[in-house]
Chains A and B, each alone.
Chain A
Amino acid sequence: MNELYSELQWLPRAPQDFSERLRALNRTNGALGRELQTLALHALDLNQLIRLSRAVDRALAEGHQLGHLAPFRLAVLSNSTIDLVVPALVASAVRHGIALEVIQPSYDQVAQEVLTPDSMVNRSRPDAVLFALDYRALPLKLSLGDGEVAAATVRGVLAYMQMLRDGIKAQSNAICIFQSFAPPAERLFGSLDRILPGTLKSLLDDINCQMAAMVAGSGDVLLDVAGLAETIGLADWHDPQLWNMAKFSFSDQLVPLYADHIARVLAAIRGKTRKVLILDLDNTVWGGVIGDDGLDGIQIAQGDARGEAHLAVQRLALDLRRRGIVLAVSSKNTDEVAREPFLKHPEMLLKLDDIAVFQANWKDKATNIQAIADQLSLGLDAMVFVDDNPAERGLVRMLLPQVAVPELPEEPAYYARTLAAAGYFEAISFAAEDLKRAGFYQDNARRAELQKQVGGVDDYLASLQMTITFQPFDATGRARIVQLINKSNQYNLTTRRYTEPEVAEVENDPAVFTLQVRLTDICGDNGMISVVVCRPGKAGEWEIDTWLMSCRVLGRTVEHWTLREILLNAREAGVQKLVGIYRPTDRNGLVVDHYAKLGFTQVASDASGMTCWELAVEAAAPEGAPMTIVTLNSALSAENVPV
């Protein structure tokens, strides 16, 4: 069994006093959620995961708040025994910042639970339903060599999956999480099983292929269990003795890994996928120490065994950047010396242009990482830090616990694989805008430069030559809208989360006013940076249910122009009053006076710090810094207000 995976070796080993620490958890202070998460951020075996989950269940039953952990209700339907998987899921979810409630109906009642409108699953109104099915659940019929019957069998299985999905969607907006199927390790013929239609292997391959197509772009999710089993090895994944004795669909040794993979998907649904990879340089991105070994002494050459290991790390970093993950550097070196290989070494794959923030100095790495987060306007929980030095890793874990810091093995050849195995960047969707995200952050760095050169703020804003584009929600923007709604924590007035199906519903609801806002400027295209949802409240009123903005565009008066757009549409719709609400969280202190700043009057507040604001719609529409305004597809005719 490959221990990198089965023992989650990117996580630090469980402390010797794990049991004592679990028992000693302080239930009275508000930090219970954080303490549980700290314990969960170790490699725990099945028994430890079960004990941690019991502590979570007890805390929830006793009415304790788990603070910053995002709640999630997951129904799990299976044809196999999942009684040990469920607690592992709860504990693994804590690791990823989720307080998980699992709805688990009786064994092997999948179709019944889905199709009965008032079943336990349907009544619980879950956020998502996991169909933890293995191949033994499927209506499969071998038809060795018969392509037509094989195709019909595959269609039958897909129809069954579709029926399960339709059954759930008929009762709620829950996201459906399907699993691809791990075939058994045994073959009937040998190599021919893959070639001949109608063998178990080729049927499952076709089914997996078609399930991927069924799920693509749908808002539902595919957990690639077949891929996970392949990575482990089918012979280690399946345990015939455990299936016979207790109907475990895979080896108990892989429950911690499987549970972590599901937790990653749930975290991705809640917008917690990490966004930034911060790299150490010496002995991480090249072999050796640039300050000591010089340009000729460091190892990154093709054909050099050690060099190739570090090039693999660079290659992975570049691939991640290509899909929208931002790269940064934190190195203990003088800046000039650290930049040398990027500028002069012919074998370097990473270029300075790929790095959004380059921190090479003699300060401690925790200070540097905080500076990187500040410069990118992103939280520490969006950061991943990779460093070959265990002392540096330990320091950052201790001072900045929200940063993900993978353990690395001794052998550099396994660095890239370990970082990938940790799954910090697990995504459940991919929008075209993601391809550009890394570039956005680099553009921002350039704007910061511009700001230093130009005189005052007003001159600076004018010099940006911004164009702001307003349009209602549509299918094209949906993926990015869902992403913004789920990931924006700071400039977010109500932190109301919507799943993809819920956004689609709002798109098509004529009573709801929606805005997706894009901003471009002289340095580049920021993409979609703000989302607004207004719902009719009392007669003649619109309630602003959602108003969020990317922190990348703070201080650019986007919110002023946005309010103007809302007012123009409200007038057109015959609305007299806008009502705005601020719901405080521990992340959105930034917007406590957003409505005050925009001229609203506070009309109510309560002990929790929630405030309610009003603005009469005939009030003057505010103006912000000079911008070109473009309105598309709205109820109003398109207006172009050149400045």
Chain B
Amino acid sequence: MDEAGIYARLAEIFEDVFEDDSIQLTPQLAAKDVDGWDSLTHIRLILTIERAFKIKFSTLEIGKLENVGDLAALIQARA
């Protein structure tokens, strides 16, 4: 999948999980920038992304994610 496709799908997932269609996804977007992005929501996000893209992240990879850019890169490598 190409980067644009990944970001489009991620935008849908973020809207689903956060119930907010106003979140702008940029590579620098991180948990601290979004209301309600706590550790539990982070898990929900990861699980939803894994199911949607039919991939599995390792614990190590999840631990290293700092922002949406890292996430998109990981998905691109896997999907």
Q: Identify the A interface with B (CB < 8 A).
A: 19, 46-47, 50-51, 54, 81, 83-84, 241-242, 244-246, 252
Contacts and interface: CB of A to CB of B under 8 A. Distances in A.
Contacts of A241: 59
B61 to A, nearest CB: 11
Interface stretch (B1-9, B24-32, B36-44, B67-75): B36-44
A47 B39 contact: no
Contact of B17 (A47, A81, A83, A245): A47
Given A47-B17, A51-B19, A54-B19, A245 B43 contact: yes
Contact of B43 (A19, A51, A54, A246): A246
A45 to B, nearest CB: 8
Contacts of B43: 84, 242, 245-246, 252
A246 B40 contact: yes
23 contacts: A46-B44, A46-B47, A47-B16, A47-B17, A47-B44, A47-B48, A50-B44, A51-B19, A81-B40, A83-B40, A84-B40, A84-B43, A84-B44, A241-B59, A242-B43, A244-B59, A245-B43, A245-B59, A246-B39, A246-B40, A246-B43, A252-B43, A252-B47
The 8 lowest CB-CB distance pairs between A and B, nearest first, are A246-B43, A83-B40, A252-B47, A47-B16, A241-B59, A47-B17, A245-B59, A51-B19
> Chain B CB within 10 Å — which of A46, A51, A54, A246 has the most?
A246
Interface of B: 16-17, 19, 39-40, 43-44, 47-48, 59, 62
A3 to B, nearest CB: 13
Contacts of A245: 43, 59, 62
A51 B43 CA distance: 16
A245 B59 CA distance: 7
Contacts of B19: 51, 54
B79 to A, nearest CB: 19
B53 to A, nearest CB: 15
Contacts of B16: 19, 47
Contacts of A244: 59
A81 B42 CA distance: 14
A207 to B, nearest CB: 30
Nearest to A54: B19
Tell me if A's interface is mostly helix, strand, loop or mixed: helix
Contacts of A51: 19
Contacts of B59: 241, 244-245
Nearest to B38: A83
A83 B41 CA distance: 10
Nearest to B56: A241
A244 B62 CA distance: 12
Contacts of B39: 246
> Chain A CB within 10 Å — which of B44, B48, B62 has the most?
B44
A241 B56 CA distance: 11
A630 B59 CA distance: 72
Contacts of A47: 16-17, 44, 48
Contacts of A246: 39-40, 43
A604 B39 CA distance: 57
Contacts of B17: 47
Contacts of B44: 46-47, 50, 84
A241 B43 CA distance: 11
Contacts of A252: 43, 47
Contacts of A54: 19
A557 B43 CA distance: 62
A223 to B, nearest CB: 24
Contacts of B40: 81, 83-84, 246
A19 B40 CA distance: 22
A21 to B, nearest CB: 14
A391 to B, nearest CB: 32
A281 to B, nearest CB: 40
A83 B40 CA distance: 8
A245 B46 CA distance: 12
B74 to A, nearest CB: 16
A304 B16 CA distance: 48
Contacts of A83: 40
A84 B46 CA distance: 14
Contacts of B47: 46, 252
Contacts of B48: 47
A19 B43 CA distance: 21
